[in-house]
Amino acid sequence: MDAIRCITAFLLITHDHNTSNRLDVMYHNQVGKYNSYDYKSGTAFPNGNYAGIYRALPQINSPGTSVTIYCSNIFSYSEIERQVVRGLHRIFNSPAPRNPRDPMSLLKCLTHLKKKSDHLREQAGNVPQPVRMSEVLGEKACSARQIVELATKHHLKIQGLYHCLGPATRSLSLVIDADQPVNLKDLLAEGTAFIFNGNRVSSKLKALGWYGDEIHIFYSGGWASQEWKFITFLGSREDNVATIEKFVLKRWADLRIYKANLVRAVNFVYSNPSAHGKTAEQLMEQTRGIMNEADDSMVAGVNMVSVMGELHCNPMHVQQD
């Protein structure tokens, strides 16, 4: 009998025109795997009962996001993913500054920033000058989220006191001076995140949300604090997988319990002497029946809420040229 393998899936359904609906799938098999898929309304997802794959009840939250795990003792991680995302199209990090739900906004923002950068360069005698983010936001030519998205697509480099708004990157001709803090809610899809209290020893809050079209985790000193800082790293999505999966299983008790129940159910069914006379389909059906009874005790997860406070830089997240 093979070990249980699970992948974690986040489904985002949003009315936010700056973010497309998507399914993010991740798992850690020696190295982290993190893939994104486009989700269009009417898509046949999920596909019902997957043969050989067990799905926990989704932790359905409002607005927009649900998280669940898909597990199997038969298939590899990659095969579980292939079965789950059947009918969805993979999203690759396209260099094109566009979004299928709002195709012109990013392009307009990028054009404005380039013109502003060229103007500053001419004024300085053809010496490259950074564009101050405070001026751009004041002009309402771009939103903070658009600047972050352009940075994650490597169209510009963010530097300055709040450089951690964007990923560390090589030198680029278009540079934004992040000279003021930005509210975290202005950088997250829907402006919301899952927020969890710290443990009995720590009063810190932790939040998980969609930042730059990826799942990221942040921490704050507590409800009275007005500052949030990254736990995960921008530009390192595969390296973040182990941290995110550990966070999910720790904070969503139902998913952790489901995985433990599945391990027990599989061990019970497959180690029973009668298993030798049954087909693979019969063994899976027996396991599924045990799990369906356990599902009755599961409840929905926590809701996403509006995030209060600014995003600040953690000394651990030092910018590299």
Length of the chain: 321
Which of residues 314 and 49 earns the better pLDDT score? 314
Q: The tokens 């795997």 sit on which residue? A: 33
Q: Is 33 exposed, middle or buried (0-12, 13-18, 19+ CB in 10 A)?
A: middle
Are 39 and 19 within 8 A, CB to CB?
no
Are 67 and 120 within 8 A, CB to CB?
no
Q: Report the pLDDT value the prediction gives residue 299, as an integer from 0 to 100.
A: 54
Q: What pTM value is reported for the model?
A: 0.86
Are 227 and 309 within 8 A, CB to CB?
yes
Asked if the model's pLDDT at residue 25 lies above 50, the reply is yes
Phi, psi of 189 (to 5 degrees): -60, 130
Q: Is 218 exposed, middle or buried (0-12, 13-18, 19+ CB in 10 A)?
A: buried
Phi, psi of 224 (to 5 degrees): -80, -15
> Which amino acid, residue 206?
K
Q: The tokens 């396209």 sit on which residue? A: 94
Dump pLDDT digits (tens) for 249-262.
998 888 899 999 99
> Which amino acid, residue 150?
L
> Which amino acid, residue 85?
V
How, if at all, do strands 310-311 and 227-230 pair? parallel
Q: What share of the chain is helix, strand, coil (3-state, %, to 5)?
A: 35, 25, 45
Dump pLDDT digits (tens) for 283-310.
888 898 888 776 655 555 567 888 899 9
Dump pLDDT digits (tens) for 166-216.
988 777 889 999 999 999 999 998 888 998 876 555 678 999 999 988 899
Percent above pLDDT 70 for the chain = 84
Which of 213, 210, 242, 231 is closest to 32 using CA atoms?
242
Where does the pLDDT of residue 139 fall: very low under 50, low under 70, confident under 90, or very high at 90 and above?
Answer: very high
Where does the pLDDT of residue 48 fall: very low under 50, low under 70, confident under 90, or very high at 90 and above?
Answer: low
Asked if the model's pLDDT at residue 320 lies above 70, the reply is no
User: Which residues in 156-193 are b (16+ Cβ under 10 Å) and which e?
Assistant: bbbbbebbbbbbbbeeeebbbbbebbbbbbebbbbbbb
